[in-house]
């Protein structure tokens, strides 16, 4: 669990991850949170279902495959999440993905959460680089990455790719 000024960032266990996919409201209740009323969107649910299968296949390294729920401490409400796409490869690189629920966007929560998770990753001996991909038109996501020290590495069509050396 990571704690920042405003947030708790909790890596879900595989049981909690399973509950997130089946019924987010039940997960929120089980964590003692006020239900946000915001389900996972279809794209996120689909992506997290694949990641969940990987988390179950890698129990010893599930931190690299689980959903890290972002909780606004003052309100005890989930505001979004982030995840690594896999454990670091042989070069020490891992990709991260993230999202903040619409009512909580533009408050700096993702910038704060990404900073905390990057600091966590920096403390791991097998991590040298974190990468992220965003849509070229997603200015808010670009700003989150820039504020956290990520640099643009390349563009491919409507996608931009970012990286930070730890």
The model's pLDDT over 91-143, given as tens digits with 9 standing for 90+, comes to 999 999 999 999 999 999 999 999 999 999 999 989 999 999 999 999 999 99
Phi, psi dihedrals of residue 26, rounded to the nearest 5°: -65, -40
What average pLDDT does range 39-57 have in this prediction?
A: 93
Helix (H, G, I), strand (E, B) or coil at 9: strand
Q: How is residue 105 written in tokens?
A: 């966007």
pLDDT for the residue 29: 96
pLDDT for the residue 88: 95
Distance, in Å, from the CA atom of 90 to the CA atom of 113, rounded to the nearest integer, reads 26
For the chain, list the domains and their CATH numbers: 2-165 (3.40.630.30)
Predicted structure pTM score: 0.94
Percentage of residues in the chain having pLDDT higher than 70:
100
The model's pLDDT over 61-91, given as tens digits with 9 standing for 90+, comes to 989 999 999 999 999 999 999 999 999 999 9
pLDDT for the residue 70: 98
For residue 117, what are the β-bridge partners? none
């Amino acid at each position: 669990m990571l704690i920042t000024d405003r947030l708790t960032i909790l890596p879900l266990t595989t049981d909690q991850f399973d509950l997130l996919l089946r019924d987010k409201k039940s997960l929120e209740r089980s964590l003692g949170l006020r239900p946000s009323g915001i389900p996972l969107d279809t794209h996120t649910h689909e992506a997290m279902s694949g990641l969940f299968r990987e988390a179950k296949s890698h129990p010893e390294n599930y931190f690299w495959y689980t959903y890290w729920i972002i909780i606004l401490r003052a309100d005890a409400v989930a505001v979004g999440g982030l995840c690594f796409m896999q454990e670091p490869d042989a070069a020490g690189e891992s990709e991260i993905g993230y999202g903040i629920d619409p009512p909580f966007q533009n408050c700096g929560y993702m910038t704060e959460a990404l900073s905390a998770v990057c600091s966590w990753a920096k403390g791991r001996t097998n991590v040298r680089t974190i990468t992220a991909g965003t849509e070229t038109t997603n200015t808010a996501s670009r700003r989150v990455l820039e504020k956290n020290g990520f640099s643009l590495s390349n563009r491919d069509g409507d996608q931009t790719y970012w990286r930070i050396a730890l």
